[in-house]
Amino acid sequence: MPQTFRTACVQNCAGPDMAANIAEVERLAIQAATDGADLICLPEFFSCLDVGPERFEVGATDEENHPALPVFTRLARDYHAWILLGSLAVKTASGKIRNRSILIDSGGEIVSRYDKIHLFDVDLAGGENYRESLTVEAGEKAVLAPTPWGLMGLTVCYDLRFAHLYRTMAQAGAMFFTVPAAFTMTTGKAHWHPLLRARAIETGSFVFAPCQWGRHGKAETYGHSLIIDPWGVVLADGGEADGIILVEIDPDRVATARAMIPALLHDRPYAGPEPATIERTG
């Protein structure tokens, strides 16, 4: 197993023109590969994102017909790089879509698929609200993807708020987590950095979090794609612009962090409190 590898996160601002979005992300991914990236991570819905008062346009297609797949499988082969398609909108028989993250190996083959489990149904201040569940069907299974550098836990955006998902995958062997996102400006300013750092610290893992930025119809995303080490140190921050961040990753730092604070081994059984009633909306 290689001692180190180079990870890049691509940051873009997708709109309704899927061909233009894919071409821009392809350009950035080629830049990352040319700069030596072994793993290139793309954001959630990088190929299409346009949010209106009564619409949520993410370019849903059958997986096999999605125009991003041939572009990035070819790029993976040509540059011998692994590529995480942060998420694509994949049609299902139910009439809804799956928010699907896809990991492609350096030979251009799909290694793993993950369907986002937790859906973004929220009511923020000032009347800002989102109902992902109206169009998206939730996934049911956590996914650990094998890579040349160790196991990688695949997650998407709102999953970030569910710490137990990351803990169970770390206890099952995950050394790295991917968190492709289109985090809103409102929640991103308050929560993006602390939540990602917490997931890294709690699990002693690297976190690779490519995020969209800018305006997508009525929605605005935060950007600030991050690469974070197992001690919670931010190694790179993408700010608010199209571009890439690139960091050399030493997997041995996972074992070092977990040896100093072996919290993943310290879970104890305990009696829970009486359940409270939580009112669900949407």
Catalytic residues: 44, 116, 157
CA distances from 114 to 12, 58, 218 (A): 21, 17, 27
Closest alpha carbon to 49 in 216, 188, 243:
216
Return the amino acid letter for 272.
G
Question: Across the strands, what pairs with 146?
Answer: 151
**How big is the CA angle at 33 (ends 114 and 232), to the nearest 5 degrees?**
60
Task: End-to-end CA distance of the chain: give it in Å, rounded.
Answer: 47
Give residues with Cβ within 8 angstroms of 151, minimum separation 6: 144, 145, 172, 173, 174, 175, 176
Length of the chain (residues): 282
Give residues with Cβ within 8 angstroms of 239, minimum separation 6: 223, 224
